[in-house]
Chain A
């Protein structure tokens, strides 16, 4: 079952613009992670934010987490054509054993040169 739901499903922007992607989830989490996937390839980890953090930055990426609303957003600033990919949020839920990630359906980002 899907834990996270990303919004919008697809996003098309011009190179240089900012891209904002949102994720909502249903249950309590240890952390939330964002991954990128180029067409048909493996997923690449972008950033992780823990449940006790509210905002985190990594290069052109900024992620926020609102546990009261069970939502997160990923901001990519000054987008480039190379940012064109699918983006997934993944939640690490609280379990008694080794953690596992539950992914959403993803957001398709197209950056036009």
Chain B
């Protein structure tokens, strides 16, 4: 039973560039949430996708966008990168019907913006 997988694990970009991060949810899950975790901080909710639509969004600018595919996998895109976007980006999956269940996290994609 595959868990949540994320790619790439590490990447380095320069200011102004764009990045795409990918996530495959745990088998059987249909909801994907993305979190940003700065060094020494807790994860901050970016947005959540269910049925290929953005269902909820945190306090992040429009530079952060996403997509969910029919197979439930998801992408996070960040445009016009800033130094402050350097963080660990975590994908978490869940099953919508449970509504208030646990999240299963991937190992994250560590983004460094120079």
* Residues in chain A within 8 A of chain B (CB atoms): 1-2, 4, 30-31, 33, 35, 40-45, 48, 50, 88, 92, 95, 97-106
- Is B43 a contact partner of A48 (Cβ separation < 8 A)? no
Given contacts A43-B103, A106-B42, 18 further A-B contacts (CB under 8 A): A35-B105, A40-B88, A40-B108, A41-B107, A41-B108, A42-B4, A42-B108, A43-B90, A48-B101, A48-B102, A50-B100, A95-B56, A97-B55, A98-B31, A100-B33, A103-B42, A105-B40, A106-B41
- Is B90 a contact partner of A92 (Cβ separation < 8 A)? no
* Residues B5-49 near A (CB distance < 8 A): 31, 33, 35, 40-45, 48
| Smallest Cβ-Cβ distance to B101: which chain A residue | A48
* Residues in chain B within 8 A of chain A (CB atoms): 4, 31, 33, 35, 40-45, 48, 50, 55-56, 58-59, 88, 90, 92, 96, 99-108, 110
| Smallest Cβ-Cβ distance to A50: which chain B residue | B100
- Is B107 a contact partner of A42 (Cβ separation < 8 A)? yes
